[in-house]
Amino acid sequence: MENGGLGLWGVPLAMLAGAIRVSTPFIFVSVGECLTERSGRINLGLEGTLVMGAMSAYAIALTTGSPWLGVLVAACVGLLLGALHAGICQLPRVNDIATGIGLMLLATGLAFFLGKPYIQPKAPNLGAIELGWWSGIPQVRQALQVNYLFVVGIVSAFALAWALKNTRWGLIVRLAGESVDAALAMGVPVGRVRLIATAIGGAFAGVGGAFLSLYYPGSWNEGLSSGQGLMAVALVIFARWDPIRCLWASLLFGAAGAISPALQSVGITEGYYLFSAAPYVLTLGLMIATCSPERALRGAPGELGAVR
Amino acid sequence: MIDRFTIGRRALLGGAAGAAALGLTGGADAQKPLVIGFIYVGPRDDYGYNQAHAEAAAILKKMPGLKVQEEEKVPETVAVEKTMESMINLDGATLVFPTSFGYFDPYMLKVAGKYPKIQFRHCGGLWTEGKHPMNTGSYFGYIDEAQYISGIVAGMTTKSGKLGFVAAKPIPQVLRNINAFTLGAQSVNPKITTQVIFTGDWALPVKEAEATNSMIAQGVDAVACHVDSPKVVIETAERAGIFTCGYHCNQAKLAPKGYLTGAEWNWERVYVGFVESLKANKPLENFVRGGLKEGYVRTSAYGPAVSAAAKEKADAAKTAILNGSLAIYKGALKDNKGNTVIPAGTSYVITEPKLESMNYLVEGVVGSTS
């Protein structure tokens, strides 16, 4: 302690810091996928979109010197990949799960191929807001360094939740997701709605990727995502298709991921493999705790292929 | 001229290659370049393990009469067999270096049995005489000697007395590095502790960054690591303004302020040795090992934060290792659970086989192997 350590207090602090640092890609991917799934489409390719977004953001930030331009390009790349997925899925007798997996492999492979020259060089990073100015403890200050994208992620989760509930546009999206027949009877162009929702969902995932390569951990390499995109898609089901709950689930996931290194750093070192599995155990536990024999998955959009 | 005869390209290359390998024809290797294959498990520009090999391969490329074939990101599965076969059959490689630990058994052994005239040398030190075929072999370096020097420099630089070590898995080679690093630091200040965090795998960027950050939160002010690519650890530490010691290859560029020194491989020494034996038609060695003295490992040039006193201590230790007067592992040595692991009066040379099965963390390391 005399050396500036916080002892056991470091663990909750590290979990808070972990929630802030690690959760952002989860927030973006899950909020984006939430929108896509509410329109009745599943996009499993978001893992690939995340990696592609990370690569393109890093490449653009490196060549132009502007990380924010990188974020923008990552969003555009995500938009295109999302639109591609939606476009393919609109063809007759196309399975969106299979297409999603195909696009995931395509996008990761493409990102690895195009990203080769960018592994070595160092691109400028996105800055952070210092929210810990009030504290004299450097650890607290460090934990409260918040990236702008984290704030954007939180705001967009609330905005999406509000829009889905209160706007005409949100009603159309939900309608397309709940019942195609009703939507068609209302004159809603289901295909176009899903195309737009999937493209926007892809753009969100692209921005999540940009966070990975431009802020935390803040460099581009091929193991960067290691399945985070897939986990985030699963989080949407866990969060019962509610953007706000997606946000909480992502934060929880980030915090749980920080448990293992945090415990090891205060000297609780036995069984760290078990602690490393904490996020997944936690997810399973919560899934079991919240499931009910009385009702099916509540909140699941009626048209969603996976739960029908 | 040979084109007039209907000899397949594969058969021709295979024959010529085999002949060159056996040293039967003096003329063949003058016309045909010697083809050498390198196989990496990850990207060759990862600032880490694979880059250390690729840098040495790049030096071989410049040697006359030599053709180097590389393939990266080859998984430790049956895929590596296919890569080896295509290097042998299509490119005419007569010497293959599968550089990743998991390539050895069964993949390399299987291909080596199929092509007895081709030479295989594997990085990792798994080859045993009598057990494995004679056209295979292994090479490795005692990099813990370089880690000991890093430990001295980190120990002289730290203000909090807390060092950190981000490690992948608790296997003997990793434990040797953690222990040597700690013993080096303790040689200048016995009170120093090393906090170790195991991430669980060789390349987990987000976990490595988290591990580094949570150690910084506990007051650690100098970190070393043993993961495939130290880039994330070094960059995270540099951003937080603490000191770093590199691993695998030189990462000074990633941390211009905080980089102290690092433990680097010097594989070109090993590879050039093999190639020269091959060119001189001498049989290739099967078991190659070496440390600082043999030049198989080296330390990075000192960074700007290293004090003159630290340089002096580190250089003195390096000289002592080179002339054999310093043993890193000597008794009485206790592990961090209080058991005596090396009795008083015993001192191990770096080649001691008992060190190869190290399964403990020495006193002063905060962490556990399970």
ipTM summary value: 0.83
State whether residue B189 sits within 8 Å of chain A by CB: no
Predicted confidence (pLDDT) per residue in B170-199, tens digit: 988 899 999 999 999 999 999 999 999 998
Which three-class secondary structure state does DSSP give residue B289? strand
Q: How far is CA A17 from each of CA B16, B233, B237, rounded to the nearest angstrom? A: 62, 17, 16
Query: Cβ contact (<8 Å) for B160 and A10?
Result: no
Predicted confidence (pLDDT) per residue in B73-105, tens digit: 898 899 999 999 999 999 999 999 999 988 998
Predicted confidence (pLDDT) per residue in B22-78, tens digit: 444 444 444 578 999 999 998 888 889 999 999 999 999 999 889 999 999 898 899
Cα distance between residue B139 and residue B287, in whole Å: 6
Query: Cβ contact (<8 Å) for A218 and B45?
Result: no
* pLDDT(B18) > 60: no
pLDDT at B94: 93
pLDDT greater at residue A62 or residue B124: A62
* pLDDT(B352) > 90: no
Instruction: From chain A, pick out residues whose CB is under 8 angstroms from the CB of B219.
Output: 3-5
* pLDDT(B14) > 60: no
Instruction: From chain B, pick out residues whose CB is under 8 angstroms from the CB of A218.
Output: 209, 232, 235-236, 239
* pLDDT(B333) > 90: yes
Predicted confidence (pLDDT) per residue in A193-227, tens digit: 999 999 999 999 999 999 999 998 888 888 888 78
Candidates A116, A141, A265: best to mutate against B (most CBs of B within 10 A) is: A265
Cα distance between residue B247 and residue A6, in whole Å: 29
pLDDT at B314: 96
State whether residue A271 sits within 8 Å of chain B by CB: yes
Task: Give mean pLDDT, residues B237-247.
Answer: 94
Beta bridge partners of B333: B342
For CA atoms B213, B214, B220, B223, the dihedral sign is negative
For CA atoms B299, B302, B303, B309, the dihedral sign is positive
Which three-class secondary structure state does DSSP give residue B259? strand
Cα distance between residue A63 and residue B193, in whole Å: 42
Candidates B163, B218, B220: best to mutate against A (most CBs of A within 10 A) is: B218
Task: Give mean pLDDT, residues A273-290.
Answer: 78
Beta bridge partners of B141: B290
Query: Cβ contact (<8 Å) for B214 and A265?
Result: yes
Contact predicate B184/B148, CB 8 Å? yes
- The beta-carbon neighbor of A264 closest among B73, B197, B235 is B197
Q: What is the DSSP string of A172-187?
A: HHHHHHH-HHHHHHTT
State whether residue B235 sits within 8 Å of chain A by CB: yes
Query: Cβ contact (<8 Å) for B218 and A143?
Result: no
State whether residue B366 sits within 8 Å of chain A by CB: yes
Q: Which residues contact B148 (CB under 8 A, 6 or more apart)?
A: B180, B181, B183, B184, B187, B317, B321, B328
Query: Cβ contact (<8 Å) for A14 and B213?
Result: yes
**Residue B118: other Cβ atoms inside 10 A:** 23
Contact predicate A14/A144, CB 8 Å? no
pLDDT at B261: 96
Q: What is the DSSP string of B59-122?
A: HHHTSTTEEEEEE-S--SSTHHHHHHHHHHHTS--SEEEE-SGGGIIIIIHHHHHH-TTSEEEE
pLDDT at A257: 80
Nearest CA in chain A to B48: A120
State whether residue A135 sits within 8 Å of chain B by CB: no
Query: Cβ contact (<8 Å) for B216 and A142?
Result: yes
Query: Cβ contact (<8 Å) for A219 and B210?
Result: no
pLDDT at A301: 81
Half-sphere exposure at residue B256, Cβ-oriented, CA atoms within 13 angstroms: 2
Instruction: From chain B, pick out residues whose CB is under 8 angstroms from the CB of A222.
Output: 42-43, 73
pLDDT greater at residue A220 or residue A3: A220
**Alpha-helix residue ranges (DSSP H) falling in B102-240:** 109-114, 144-157, 172-188, 205-217, 231-239
Query: In chain B, which among 264-323 make CB contacts under 8 A with chain A?
Result: none
Backbone φ, ψ for residue B98 (5° rounding): -80, 115
Domains of chain A and any CATH numbers? 7-126+134-290 (1.10.3470)
pTM score, whole prediction: 0.84
Of A84, A121, A80, whose CA–CA distance to A102 is shortest? A84
Dihedral angle, C-alpha A173, A178, A181, A185, nearest 10 °:
-40
Instruction: From chain A, pick out residues whose CB is under 8 angstroms from the CB of B217.
Output: 5-6, 10, 13-14, 17, 139, 142-143, 265
Query: Cβ contact (<8 Å) for B210 and A269?
Result: no
pLDDT at B19: 45
Contact predicate B345/B315, CB 8 Å? no
Task: Compute the nearest-CA separation of A94 from chain B (Å).
Answer: 32
* pLDDT(A138) > 80: no
Task: Compute the nearest-CA separation of A51 from chain B (Å).
Answer: 13
Candidates A135, A224, A231, A269: best to mutate against B (most CBs of B within 10 A) is: A269
Task: Compute the nearest-CA separation of B279 from chain A (Å).
Answer: 34
Predicted confidence (pLDDT) per residue in A35-77, tens digit: 999 999 999 999 999 999 999 999 999 999 999 999 999 999 9
* pLDDT(B335) > 60: yes
Q: Provide the pLDDT confidence category of residue B296 given band limits of 50, 70 and 90.
A: very high
pLDDT at B28: 44
pLDDT at A141: 79
Contact predicate B97/B271, CB 8 Å? yes
Of B312, B265, B287, B239, whose CA–CA distance to B147 is shortest? B265
Of B106, B56, B99, B123, whose CA–CA distance to B289 is shortest? B123
Q: How many CB pairs under 8 A join A and B?
A: 132
State whether residue B185 sits within 8 Å of chain A by CB: no
Cα distance between residue A148 and residue A152, in whole Å: 6
Instruction: From chain A, pick out residues whose CB is under 8 angstroms from the CB of B43.
Output: 116, 119, 221-222
pLDDT greater at residue A19 or residue B313: B313
Of the listed ranges A11-15, A152-156, B114-118, the least confidently predicted one is A11-15
**Average pLDDT in chain A:** 87
In percent, the amount of chain A with pLDDT more than 90 equals 51
Q: What is the DSSP string of A146-160?
A: EEHHHHHHHHHHHHH
pLDDT at B29: 45
Q: Provide the pLDDT confidence category of residue A5 given band limits of 50, 70 and 90.
A: low
pLDDT at B191: 95
Half-sphere exposure at residue B244, Cβ-oriented, CA atoms within 13 angstroms: 28
Of the listed ranges A240-254, B27-41, B220-234, B299-313, the least confidently predicted one is B27-41
Query: Cβ contact (<8 Å) for B206 and A217?
Result: yes
